[in-house]
């Protein structure tokens, strides 16, 4: 573009009064961190795609708030360094995408750099160093999973799971898997039971939405294919890997499971060491016995991995077993966006990654047609008095679900036993407290209003009322943060008895008396602050000697 044209574009962008996600102004008078530039490249490229723009703009040397002013920038002061930036950026982006152009304007008010950023390619979100970025108003954030899927979906003209598998025939399907599929179909459609027995295999597979007009689909190979038929899906995989690790993370055993996945879920379940846990409810001499994991919850988690795996990425589903947890991972984003949204909405998602596969799994009684499987998983964990499933959605391209097979905090377990009327969302919020995970403002207020927790975020603990109910009084005292005067009196008593003390003496004396909610570092900081306040504000103690080896005594003035 000619200089006058680019000046007109700059003037137009500077006059925009509302927030637009595809334009970003930065002062950057002297420098601009290369990694920040790359993150904005990813974000503006993705936003330009989502907003239907021909390009996004990153502009240096202009203030970011209206009315915008040109302040000038010295970033990359030579033309050679600017041109080299294109390759430097391409080295870290998806498909080596880089700037359409870089414009340098020498204006009376100062030098301005305008980076013209191409929109993300259809079907390929733009990543920076493997991470996908977007905008939330003016903020730079991880690309929203729905937006990621929207861009990915631009190139998807047909459902991969519904594609006819080239070269496949009914002989590539496992007879035992077909027989089992018939039984599951009849459970799902009991009224058709006698009629189903009259259908030949191809008729049944068409009716069960596994095949299309007698042709073998990718879904048919995944769920019902013979083990040796997996090659028909290449480059995609239909494979689950189970790995057993010890407490130190060392691999002890592993196994691979290919088609037919309809039959392999139970084989994986048989591999898992599902031990019996015993715990004693308060006020009774009779222990409760329960397995580490509920079989239905394991199946549901695995079925979700199969249904929502992004098979186009040619990866596998993983199940990693440790002595006290199961970790499930599958490729693809979590399309609903967040677990909270799924639990609150309790309705089928508007879209599936593999709609044909998901429909077939519904017909074969593998997943629930009403889409409430995840909520049921959380409800069952609450009824079993176990920690809730942990969904890690931080990686845009992978979903991680962890099931814990142990009690984390006995007080919370006792609480679930005693308060069976506790709402699911409140139980989930309390589960976050026991895992030291952050609460939303709404969750925090709700637990405070119900008097279920005490303390200040992030150092929350079970309240005195609930501790009394559940028999956790001792733990309540260990977790409760006593007022400062209590600790100050202890320090004075110590000095009255021993005359003097170093800070290490006070740490040894007070460490087990300060709330267990605080970390060791936080406890040390609290002791340091107490000594500072008593010597500088209260004037009850005095310190002598160098700061690091100071000795405290009572102030006898």
Residues ≥6 apart with Cβ < 8 Å to 547: none
**Residue that is last in its domain, among 110, 137, 153:** 153
Average pLDDT value over all residues in the chain: 87
Given a contact cutoff of 8 angstroms between Cβ atoms, the answer to whether 402 and 305 are in contact is no
pLDDT score, position 48: 94
Number of Cβ within a 10 Å radius of residue 131: 14
Tell me if 43 sits within 8 A of 134, measured CB to CB: yes
Q: What is the mean pLDDT of residues 359-382?
A: 86
Residues 489 and 472 in one domain: no
CATH assignment of the domain containing 367:
3.30.565.60
Q: How far apart are the first and last CA of the chain?
A: 81
- What is the span of the domain harbouring residue 217? 160-233
What DSSP string describes 264-288? HHHHHHHHS---EEEE--TT-SS-E
Question: What is the distance between the alpha carbons of residues 209 and 190, in angstroms, rounded to a whole number?
Answer: 17
Assess whether 393 and 246 both reside in one domain.
yes
> How big is the chain, counted in residues?
557
Cβ-contact 517, 454 below 8 angstroms:
no
- Answer yes or no: do 423 and 469 share one domain: yes
Residue 271 and residue 362 in one domain = yes
Give me the pLDDT at residue 470, please. 47
Same domain, 394 and 542: no
- Reported as type and span, the H/E element at residue 553 is strand 551-554
Residues 173 and 263 in one domain: no
**Which of 346, 381, 404 is the last residue before a domain boundary?**
404
**CATH code where residue 69 lies:** 3.30.950.30
Ramachandran quadrant class, 326 (left: phi over 0; alpha: psi -120 to 50; beta: rest): beta
Q: Give the least confident one: 173-182, 450-459, 467-476, 548-557.
A: 467-476
393 and 475 both lie in a single domain: no
- Tell me the CA distances in angstroms from 392 to 32, 354, 424, one per residue in order: 32, 21, 20
Q: How confident is the model at residue 216 (pLDDT cuts 50, 70, 90)?
A: very high
Q: CA 307: distance to chain centroid? A: 19
Specify whether 386 is located in the same domain as 438.
no
Residue pLDDT, tens place only, 147-194: 988 888 776 557 899 999 999 999 999 999 999 999 999 998 989 989
Looking at the fold, whether 272 and 376 belong to one and the same domain comes out as yes
Instruction: Please check whether residues 327 and 400 belong to one and the same domain.
Output: yes
Q: Are residues 364 and 380 in the same domain?
A: yes
Number of domains in the chain: 5
To the question of pTM greater than 0.75 for the whole model, the response is no
501 and 467 within one domain:
no
Pick the last residue of a domain from 455, 479, 503. 479
In this predicted structure, the answer to whether residue 241 has a pLDDT above a threshold of 90 is yes
491, containing H or E segment: helix 484-498
């Amino acid at each position: 573009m000619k200089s006058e044209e680019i000046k007109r574009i700059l003037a137009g962008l500077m006059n925009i009064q509302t927030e637009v996600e595809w334009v970003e102004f930065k002062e950057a008078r002297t420098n601009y961190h290369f990694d920040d530039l790359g993150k904005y490249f990813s974000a503006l490229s993705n936003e330009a795609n989502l907003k239907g723009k021909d390009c996004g703009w990153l502009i240096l040397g202009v203030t970011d708030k209206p009315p915008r002013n040109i302040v000038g920038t010295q970033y990359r002061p030579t033309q050679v360094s600017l041109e080299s930036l294109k390759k430097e950026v391409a080295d870290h982006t998806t498909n080596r995408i880089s700037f359409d152009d870089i414009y340098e304007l020498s204006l009376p008010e100062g030098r301005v750099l305008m980076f013209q950023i191409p929109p993300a390619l259809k079907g390929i979100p733009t990543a920076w160093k493997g991470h996908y970025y977007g905008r939330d108003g003016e903020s730079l954030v991880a690309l929203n999973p729905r937006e990621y899927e929207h861009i990915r979906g631009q190139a998807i003209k047909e459902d991969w799971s519904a594609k006819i598998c080239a070269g496949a025939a009914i002989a590539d399907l496992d007879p035992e898997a077909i027989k089992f599929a018939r039984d599951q179909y009849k459970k799902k459609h009991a009224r058709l039971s006698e009629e189903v027995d009259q259908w030949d295999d191809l008729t049944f597979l068409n009716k069960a939405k596994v095949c299309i007009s007698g042709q073998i689909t990718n879904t048919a190979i995944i769920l019902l294919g013979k083990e040796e038929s997996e090659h028909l899906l290449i480059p995609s995989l239909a494979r689950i890997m189970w790995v057993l690790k010890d407490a130190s993370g060392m691999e002890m055993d592993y196994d691979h499971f290919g088609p037919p996945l309809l039959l392999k879920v139970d084989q994986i379940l048989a591999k898992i060491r599902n031990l019996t846990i015993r715990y004693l409810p308060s006020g009774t001499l009779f222990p409760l016995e329960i397995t580490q994991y509920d079989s239905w919850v394991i199946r549901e988690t695995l079925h979700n991995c199969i249904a929502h795996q992004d098979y186009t990425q040619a990866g596998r589903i993983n199940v990693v077993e440790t002595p006290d947890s199961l970790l499930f991972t599958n490729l693809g984003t979590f399309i609903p966006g967040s677990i909270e949204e799924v639990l609150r909405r309790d309705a089928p998602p508007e879209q599936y990654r593999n709609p044909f596969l998901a429909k077939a799994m519904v017909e074969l009684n593998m997943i629930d047609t009403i889409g409430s499987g995840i909520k049921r998983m959380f409800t069952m964990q609450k009824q079993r008095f176990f920690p809730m499933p942990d969904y890690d959605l931080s990686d845009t391209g992978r979903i991680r679900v962890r099931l814990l097979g142990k009690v984390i905090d006995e007080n919370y377990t006792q609480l679930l036993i005693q308060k069976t009327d506790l709402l699911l969302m409140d139980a989930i919020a309390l589960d976050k407290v026991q895992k030291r995970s952050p609460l939303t403002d709404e969750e925090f207020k709700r637990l405070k209003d119900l008097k279920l927790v005490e303390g200040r975020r992030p150092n929350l603990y079970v309240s005195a009322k609930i501790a009394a109910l559940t028999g956790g009084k001792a733990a309540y005292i260990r977790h409760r943060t006593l007022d400062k005067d209590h600790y100050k009196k202890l320090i004075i008593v110590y000095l009255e008895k021993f005359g003097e003390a170093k800070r290490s003496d006070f740490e040894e004396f007070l460490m087990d008396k300060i709330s267990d909610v605080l970390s060791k570092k936080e406890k040390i900081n609290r002791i340091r602050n107490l000594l500072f306040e008593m010597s500088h504000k209260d004037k009850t103690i005095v310190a002598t000697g160098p700061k690091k080896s100071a000795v405290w005594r009572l102030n006898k003035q």
